[in-house]
């Protein structure tokens, strides 16, 4: 697991998985994969028997910002060199049902890999096959492990670009850690005291509009359920509070 | 909680989310989305201002087996009809950083939705915007809640087809798990028309309490966000409606 060439004090460094595409026919798919790599923080694109990638063609057209680095820096490599250099994970839609054959079984899902790979320091390549038939049994037999995306039993065969996109999305934890474009916090719930003031104001309003006393408790409970599961922000509570206060304290003269 | 029109023995049935694409320019992206729908078990494709879909063109070329059903059965719909008919979840790469604005915050990730939606019975549509600019702020303001895919902070903008593919992949639990496990419905969201009456009543109350005209739109948007993510039941909406109506129409004599 440790890198023999590193000094004794060095911690093993996790290398980001490379992405290998074997014998793709469509430049557009390679562009799509490059874009997904950029979106999810991968860098190294390896191409086995690629089609010509015209800078004015579909590969560059589909690559988004990856046209500036990932695509022009892609490395052409032979399949043998690929399996010799990397721990290879071959992606396929069709697995074996059981262990009668080991070619496509056992397999991991991308989510399984996302759980496991972050704790592994090694050179890894995710390997995607050609459009129509994916990776052949002969290729899969030379590959270290199998990955398959769970999908509709009636039609589990994903398009190459889409399969790679989903796999890289699941494995983003390897690359992005917490550094996504999204704020780490999805919601900021208002302080409990603030929320309590909201309920107090509702209670005042109920009284003001002569809500039947016997229904009061039940209604307050419902309000607490509704707002409880909405995780109100402080700003939302304050705006609601203002509205309710004015609804409650409306001047008698209209 | 019960649907008045259904027989007493009927269980609330979870409806699969529809997938809506707003103003897409590229037929190929629509084909890609249709294929992802088929791969992950979705059926209903709604198209707002779609490009022409030539049976010999890219939409059908990219759709895989979805060319046989999802694509030819797609429904053209206006944006207004979409937001009036469905609980809408708008997908965008760019969220607000915090709760200073309600247009793009709070948000959920597709994984969050996959946790929450399986327990909600209601008509829901996942809404994806046009290629370059996604959904506009004006469109998002009319949409019930926000979804965003975590990605590389330096380049979080996914291609339309890839964004939809990832979202549908995450939500596959809504569709594919039906084969193997009973859906556990915990809530039945109120019909969209009922929820719209709630917003109408809020609007009437705002007017009655002289809420500043320039804040009206923003406040309504906030209310939509708050109640949008609370998945109100019909009973909850009706109770709220009654409270708000009485708050609005309070007799002048106290």
Buried b (16+ CB within 10 A) or exposed e, A109-136: ebeebbeebeeeeeebbbbbbbeeebbe
Beta carbons of A211 and B152 less than 8 Å apart: no
Residue A32 contacts B, CB cutoff 8 Å: yes
Tell me, what's the pLDDT at B121? 64
Reading the block at residue B218, the tokens are: 């923003």
Nearest CA in chain B to A204: B247
Q: Are A51 and A26 in contact (CB under 8 A)?
A: yes
Tell me, what's the pLDDT at B183? 28
Q: Are A104 and A136 in contact (CB under 8 A)?
A: no
Please give the share of chain A, as a percent, with pLDDT higher than 90: 54
Residue B88 contacts A, CB cutoff 8 Å: no
Confidence bin at A55 (pLDDT 50/70/90) = very high
Tell me, what's the pLDDT at B252? 62
Partners of residue A239 in chain B, C-beta under 8 Å: 219, 222
Residue A203 contacts B, CB cutoff 8 Å: no
Confidence bin at A112 (pLDDT 50/70/90) = confident
What are the C-alpha distances in Å from B128 to residues A33, B135, B143, B158? 20, 7, 11, 11
Eight-state DSSP code of residue B138: H
Point out which residues pair with A147 in neighbouring strands. Answer: A91, A108
Q: Are B211 and A240 in contact (CB under 8 A)?
A: no
* pTM of the model as a whole: 0.78
Per-residue pLDDT at A100 exceeds 60: no
Residue B142 contacts A, CB cutoff 8 Å: no
Partners of residue A231 in chain B, C-beta under 8 Å: 106, 229
Confidence bin at A104 (pLDDT 50/70/90) = low
Neighbours of A100 (CB within 10 A): 8
CA angle A30, A34, A36 (to 5 degrees): 115
Neighbours of B210 (CB within 10 A): 10
B19 Cβ contact list (under 8 Å, min separation 6): B33, B37, B42, B44, B45, B46, B125, B126, B128, B164, B168
Tell me, what's the pLDDT at B14? 58
Partners of residue A64 in chain B, C-beta under 8 Å: 155, 157, 159
Instruction: Give chain A's radius of gyration (CA, Å).
Output: 28
Tell me, what's the pLDDT at B202? 95
Tell me, what's the pLDDT at B105? 66
Task: For chain A, give the number of residues.
Answer: 254
Partners of residue A209 in chain B, C-beta under 8 Å: 243, 246-247, 250
Distance CA B146, CA B92 (A): 7
Q: Residue A240's closest CA among B98, B187, B249, B99?
A: B99
- SS3 assignment, position B101: coil
Q: Any alpha helices (H) in B41-116, and if so which ranges?
A: 58-62, 79-85, 110-116
Eight-state DSSP code of residue B126: E
Beta carbons of A236 and B99 less than 8 Å apart: yes
HSE-up of residue B26 (Cα within 13 Å, Cβ side): 18
Partners of residue B246 in chain A, C-beta under 8 Å: 209-211
What are the C-alpha distances in Å from B215 to residues A150, A157, B106, B211, B212? 47, 50, 19, 7, 5
Spans of all domains in chain A: 18-174, 192-248
Residue with more model confidence, A205 or B224 = A205
Neighbours of A35 (CB within 10 A): 27
Tell me, what's the pLDDT at A87? 87
CA A77, distance to chain mean position in Å, is 28
Tell me, what's the pLDDT at B98? 60
Partners of residue B102 in chain A, C-beta under 8 Å: 235-236
- pLDDT tens-digit series, residues A60-99: 999 999 999 999 999 999 999 999 999 899 998 876 555 4
Neighbours of B153 (CB within 10 A): 13
Q: What are phi and psi of B200, to 5 degrees?
A: -60, -40
Eight-state DSSP code of residue B157: -
Residue B165 contacts A, CB cutoff 8 Å: yes
Q: If one looks up domain A18-174 in CATH, what number appears?
A: 3.40.1280.10
Beta carbons of B98 and A222 less than 8 Å apart: no
The string of DSSP codes covering A25-72 is --HHHHHHHHHHHHHHT---EEEESPPP--TTSHHHHH-GGGGGTTTT
Point out which residues pair with A62 in neighbouring strands. Answer: none
Candidate CATH numbers 3.60.20.10, 3.40.1280.10, 3.90.730.10, 3.40.190.10; the one for domain B18-179? 3.40.1280.10
Residue with more model confidence, B195 or A101 = B195
Partners of residue B247 in chain A, C-beta under 8 Å: 205, 208-209, 247-248
Residue A102 contacts B, CB cutoff 8 Å: no
Q: Are B171 and B124 in contact (CB under 8 A)?
A: no
Residue A67 contacts B, CB cutoff 8 Å: no
Q: Which residues of chain B have pLDDT under 50?
A: 1-9, 178, 180-186, 253-254
ipTM: 0.78
Peptide bond into A190 cis (omega under 30): no
Reading the block at residue B150, the tokens are: 């975590």
Query: What beta strand segments (E) does chain A contain?
Result: 18-22, 45-48, 75-76, 87-91, 107-108, 124-128, 145-147
Nearest CA in chain B to A165: B162
Tell me, what's the pLDDT at A9? 46
- pLDDT tens-digit series, residues A115-172: 888 766 678 999 999 998 899 989 988 898 888 898 888 888 999 999 999 999 999 9
Instruction: Give chain B's radius of gyration (CA, Å).
Output: 19
């Amino acid at each position: 697991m440790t890198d023999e060439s590193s000094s004794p004090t060095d911690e093993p460094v996790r290398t980001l998985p490379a992405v290998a595409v074997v014998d793709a026919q469509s430049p557009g798919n390679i562009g799509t994969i490059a874009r997904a790599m950029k979106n999810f923080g991968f860098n190294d694109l390896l191409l086995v028997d690629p089609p010509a990638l015209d800078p004015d063609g579909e590969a560059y057209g589909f690559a988004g910002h990856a046209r500036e680095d990932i695509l022009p820096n892609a490395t052409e490599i032979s399949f043998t060199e690929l399996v010799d250099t990397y721990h290879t994970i071959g992606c396929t839609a069709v697995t074996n049902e059981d262990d009668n054959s080991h070619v496509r079984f056992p397999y991991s899902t991308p989510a399984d890999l996302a759980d496991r790979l972050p704790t592994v320091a090694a050179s890894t390549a995710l390997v995607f096959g050609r459009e129509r038939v994916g990776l052949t049994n002969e290729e899969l037999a030379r590959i270290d492990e199998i990955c398959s995306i769970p999908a509709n039993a009636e039609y589990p065969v994903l398009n190459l670009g889409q399969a790679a996109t989903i796999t890289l999305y699941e494995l983003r934890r390897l690359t992005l850690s917490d550094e996504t474009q999204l704020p780490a916090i999805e919601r900021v719930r208002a302080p409990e005291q603030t929320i309590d003031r909201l309920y107090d104001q509702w209670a005042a309003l109920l009284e003001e509009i002569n809500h039947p006393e016997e229904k009061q408790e039940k209604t307050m409970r419902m309000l607490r359920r509704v707002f409880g599961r909405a995780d109100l922000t402080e700003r939302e509570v304050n705006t609601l509070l203002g509205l309710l206060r004015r609804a409650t304290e409306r001047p008698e003269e209209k």
